[in-house]
Structure 1
Amino acid sequence: MSFSIATWNINSVRLRLPLVEQFLKRYQPDILCLQETKCPDEFFPAEAFEALGYSHIAISGQKGYHGVATLSRRPIDIVEKRDFCKMGDRRHLSTRFSAGGRTVLLHNFYVPAGGDEPDPAINPKFRHKLDFIAEMRDVRAGHDGESGSILVGDLNIAPLETDVWSHKQLLKVVSHTPVETEGLESMRTGGGWTDLMRAHIPPEERLYTWWSYRARDWEASDRGRRLDHVWTSPNVAADMREVEVVRAARGWERPSDHVPVIARFGYE
């Protein structure tokens, strides 16, 4: 038996629907978690995904901003749409499904970007981001013999030195400042989560999932950051077989600035 899950900040699901369809046809993950869908629930293009076999759909969207969606080829149950920091933003969606003889709780997150100035005293967007990460400490990697947990999404923080193109130059840039990276890692380890991408790809290797639109040639400059993550409870991590960053998607026509990440699991 096998199972796969993908996460992708799509930066408008309606604008980039052809890219999502292309991705699903080619890679066929069992579940796809999208972030920054920028789409009210009533206008979500569900029929397009149902036509591809993704008939189980959970969405939490809003007009023009934020939004998350979980699309599945197997049954899922909606567990929670949590309003972190009581801002009214659609940034979290949890669902439950069965795989490998266990019930899995899946969290789909879109963490605030935090603006440009890494000072919470003068930048309310950065304050919001730090508060959001602090509140995420309540989200733990619950597991036992019959259950497990997965957390995926655009967490908008690149925690390791090798998760950015230049650790030294980005230490004072939002997404890689010490207060962010230390906060995220403290939340992850305190919650019992395993960083699945770094369990598969050694921390010594550079690893990116995002490249800015501002780069004239994103591939040549390769100034990326790992902003997208896949975490699991230890028992789910033990079944991991492969993690793939679909770097080629950054070069597709009218792409998102993020690329999909796919985690594949195998069960005896």
Structure 2
Amino acid sequence: MPFTLATWNINSVRLRQGIVAQLMRDEAPDVLCLQECKSPVDKIPVEVFEALGYTHMVARGQKGYNGVAIFSKIPMVEAGSHDFAQLDHARHIAGRLDNGVTIHNFYVPAGGDVPDREVNVKFGQKLDYLTDMRDWARADKPGKAILVGDLNIAPREDDVWNHKQLLKVVSHTPIEVEHMAEVQDAGQWVDITRQDIPEGNLYSWWSYRSPNWDEADKGRRLDHIWATPDISNAGHSSRVLRHVRAWEKPSDHAPVFATFDL
């Protein structure tokens, strides 16, 4: 059963339900994973998405902050969620498809502005969250699984517009990249996007603070699609829909796509 999957930090699913619906109409991914929904589950405009064929949803939400949801056109049931680092945040939800594939949708904490846990609690929370993700994968080795989401880390030099300038900027610091690598190693997760697009600058986020974001192109690849080794060879057709960043009242993230022949 081939299916196409997309991940997108939407920065409020209620405020931006129009462009979510536009993506559903234009691109029609079978599964759409959203982060930073900023909505209680019962306030998500599910009727809008159901009308477009997305009749299955699993979600965790909270008012005004965080929140993750998976919408699917193909049968899907909830497969649980975890409160990583005991933050009591809605940052993870999992759904299982009929073919046995489990999709984990994550919204890793951004980490604040100062990359020092001694003076910035949020940075410490981010590192603790990643450590907990690592231990979770070590304790229960994932199989036939896909991990997606806004992981808020751009790990490679060509995942940021300027490696040297961003080494001390949250999202690209060595300690964050190291923590991310430990998560990836613990689950033997394969970076599907970079498996498909192994070379060259590739970004999925551009700051709202840059009005000429497209021309300046000071981006970072914060949004990821990973898969376990048993299904990683089935992943292909990866792409970042950069043009979506220019839609009316956009998110500062662009959707990331991949297709799996399973």
Name the CA distance, whole Å, in 1 between partners of 2:55 and 2:9: 20
Contact 2:135 2:186 in 1 (8 A): no
Aligned-partner residue type, residue 171 of structure 2: S
| Secondary structure class of the residue paired with 1:265 | strand
Structure 2 residue aligned with 1:119: 116
The equivalent of 1:131 in structure 2 is 128
Partner amino acid for 1:193?
Answer: W
Deviations 1:122-157 (A, max 9, x none): 1000000000000001343622xxxx0000000000
**Contact 2:161 2:219 survives alignment (8 Å):** yes
**What is the SS of the residue equivalent to 2:109?**
coil
Measured after TM superposition, the shift of residue 266 of structure 1 is 2.5
Q: Which residue of structure 2 lines up, in the alignment, with residue 73 of structure 1?
A: 73
Alignment match, 1:33: 33
Which residue in the other structure is 2:174 paired with? 178
User: Does 80-89 or 103-112 show the bigger shift?
Assistant: 80-89
How far, CA to CA, are the matches of 1:50 and 1:68 in structure 2? Answer: 17
Residue equivalent to 1:246 = 241
Shift of 1:75: 1.3
Q: How does 1:40-189 map to 2 (within 5 A)?
A: 40-99=40-99, 103-140=100-137, 142-143=142-143, 148-189=144-185
1:27-51 Cα shifts (integer Å, max 9, x gaps): 1111000000000112111101110
In the alignment, the residues of structure 2 paired with residue 163 and residue 222 of structure 1 have an alpha-carbon distance, to the nearest angstrom, of 12
1:210: which partner in 2? 205
Read off the aligned partner of 1:246 and give its amino acid letter: L
> What's the RMSD between the two structures over aligned residues?
1.0
Deviation at 1:89, TM superposition (A): 0.4
SS at 1:80's partner residue?
coil
Give the corresponding residue for 1:224.
219
CA distance in 1, matches of 2:230, 2:80: 23
SS of residue in 1 equivalent to 2:181: helix
- Whole-angstrom CA distance in 2 between matches of 1:76 and 1:265: 16
Offset, 1:161: 0.5
Query: Aligned letter for 2:203?
Result: Y
Question: Given the alignment of the two structures, is residue 193 of structure 1 paired with residue 186 of structure 2, yes or no?
Answer: no
Q: Which residue of structure 1 aligns with residue 8 of structure 2?
A: 8
CA distance in 1, matches of 2:25, 2:96: 24
Residue type of the alignment partner of 1:105: T
Q: Which amino acid aligns with 2:239?
A: E
2: CA distance, partners of 1:61 / 1:33 = 13
Q: Give the TM-score normalised by the residue count of structure 1.
A: 0.94
Paired position in structure 2 for 1:259: 254
Determine if the alignment matches structure 1 residue 234 to structure 2 residue 219.
no
1:8 is displaced (CA, Å) by: 0.3
Q: Secondary structure at the match of 1:216?
A: coil
Q: Is the 8 A contact 2:187 2:228 kept in 1?
A: no
The superposition leaves residues 85-131 of structure 1 with CA deviations (integer Å, 9 ceiling, x where unpaired) of 112100000111134xxx11110000000000000011000000000
Displacement of 1:216 in angstroms is: 2.0
Determine the C-alpha separation between the residues in 1 that align with 2:88 and 2:233: 36
- Number of residue pairs aligned between Structure 1 and Structure 2: 259
Whole-angstrom distance in 1 between the partners of 2:15 and 2:160: 28
